[in-house]
Amino acid sequence: MKHQDQVVLVTGAGQGIGQSIVSYFATAGANVAAVDINADTLNASVNELNANVAGNIVAITANIAKSDSVRDAIAAVVEKFGRLDAIINVAGVGSIDAFVDTPDEHWDKVIAVNLTGTFLCCREAAKVMQAQGSGCIINVSSTAALTGEGPSHYCASKAGVMGLTRSMARELAPVGIRVNTIVPGPTNTPMMADIPEEWTQQMIAAIPLARMGEGEDIAKVASFLACDDSGFITGQNIAVNGGMAFI
């Protein structure tokens, strides 16, 4: 199995893309730490997955926008499994706001979770991986960062993730850590449920493959980036969007 005995941490693991990635990696033999801020949703998801897929999945409740919470989560993974081979930063939030009407608190929350949260998780994971001399960091951005088709705070935060990846990849390569970003297009997740149906249909119409992505589409690319098959790939932003936009 491609990820046999690998230790993988996934944020935003309670639903959507994160849940799909947890399931995919566990089935492929990994020990998976599923991290989410919503304990009830997370525990229900992990219990269901442990009952229905092979693998070892543990639930860790954490707020990735808080340094102490991230530090504790990473420490818990290392204490349980002894190492951390890969972290996949999926957790994200958004809200529908016209630019001139965006409240300060909406801007602050989206940046805090999507960009600062990714930074905090990467920083703490890199400390562990640097001591090991190996590791893989996978961030998740959005095609909205390429097209600008979305609320300003969301597009800005996801564009920031792509820049963060490039910088980290250069700095961490000499210590054996690869860093890449997956850039999904519209994907069939609970977050999409808040978007008006008219907007959803417009997005699908703009996708050459004429469908929304599924969580497993993203999980398969994460699997490739987290294994030795991609050992010479770092600093890349990889679009998984059905041809909606190019990098």
The model's pLDDT over 2-15, given as tens digits with 9 standing for 90+, comes to 899 999 999 999 99
List, for residues 160-178, the tens digit of each pLDDT value.
999 999 999 999 999 999 9
pLDDT at 192 over 80: no
244 within domain boundaries: no
Percent of the chain with pLDDT over 70: 100
1 within domain boundaries: no
Domain range enclosing 95: 7-239
Euclidean distance between CA atoms 68 and 182, whole angstroms: 26
pLDDT at 244 over 80: yes
pLDDT at 55 over 90: no
How many structural domains comprise the chain? 1
pLDDT at 198 over 90: no
84 within domain boundaries: yes
164 within domain boundaries: yes
Name the phi and psi angles at 59, rounded to 5.
-100, 135
pLDDT at 200 over 90: no
CATH code of 169's domain: 3.40.50.720
Euclidean distance between CA atoms 54 and 207, whole angstroms: 34
Q: Which amino acid is at 95?
A: S
Mean pLDDT score, 58-73: 98
Sequence-ordered alpha helix ranges (H) in 28-184: 39-52, 67-81, 104-111, 117-132, 144-147, 152-172
List, for residues 12-28, the tens digit of each pLDDT value.
999 999 999 999 999 99
Average pLDDT value over all residues in the chain: 96
2 within domain boundaries: no
Q: Residue 226 has what pLDDT?
A: 98
Structure tokens at 181: 């970003």
State the DSSP H helix or E strand holding residue 16, giving kind and residue range, or none if neither: helix 16-27
Predicted confidence band of residue 1 (pLDDT cuts 50, 70, 90): low
Mean pLDDT score, 40-63: 95
The candidate with the shortest Cα–Cα distance to 154, out of 210, 86, 102, is: 102
**For this structure, is 154 an active site residue?**
yes
237-240 vs 135-140, strand pairing mode:
unpaired
210 within domain boundaries: yes
Q: Which of 154, 223, 226, 240 is catalytic?
A: 154
Percent of the chain with pLDDT over 90: 90
246 within domain boundaries: no
71 within domain boundaries: yes
Mean pLDDT score, 216-233: 97
| CA quadruple 95, 238, 241, 22: dihedral, nearest 10 | -70
Euclidean distance between CA atoms 246 and 28, whole angstroms: 30
